[in-house]
Amino acid sequence: MQKKEDLIDYDFQGWPIFRMNLREILLALGAREEDGKLFFDLSSSAMDLYPRVLRDDGMGYGVDDSNIIEASISSDNSYINIFRERVPDAETKKKLLRRWQEEER
C-alpha cells in the first residue's frame, strides 16, 4: 500500500511516483513475510545476480543503466546509502579488461 508520505513526484503523464523502503524492495524480489520477519530463499539463483539501477523515463523503459558499487546505512540510521556507477559501454569495457590484464602481470 503506497502512502502519501512516500510520494516523490509525478511522471510526465501524471502518474504518481513513490519511493520504496527496503522491506518493499525485498518483498518485490520474492521475500516472504511471516510473523513480522522476512524470509528469502538463499539457494535462489537470484542471490548471485547483480542489481541494475535504472532511471524511469516515463515510457516504461529504463535509462542511465548503473551498477551498485557500495551500500551502507547512514550513521544516524535514517537512510540506506547506495552508491552507483554507470555501466560502461562495450568499448570502455574492453579497455578496462585490457588494463586489468596488464596490471595482473
Q: Is residue 105 predicted with pLDDT exceeding 90?
A: no
Report the pLDDT value the prediction gives residue 44, as an integer from 0 to 100.
Answer: 83
Provide CB contacts within 8 A for 53, sequence distance 6+: 65, 66, 67, 68, 82, 84
Report the pLDDT value the prediction gives residue 19, as an integer from 0 to 100.
Answer: 92
pLDDT digits (tens, 9 = 90+) for 51-87: 888 887 767 777 788 999 999 999 999 999 999 988 8
Mean pLDDT score of the chain, rounded to an integer? 88
How far apart CA 60 and CA 23 sit, in angstroms, is: 24
Q: What is the DSSP string of 57-78?
A: -SSS-EEEEEEEEEEEE-TTSS
Q: Is 39 helix (H, G, I), strand (E, B) or coil?
A: strand
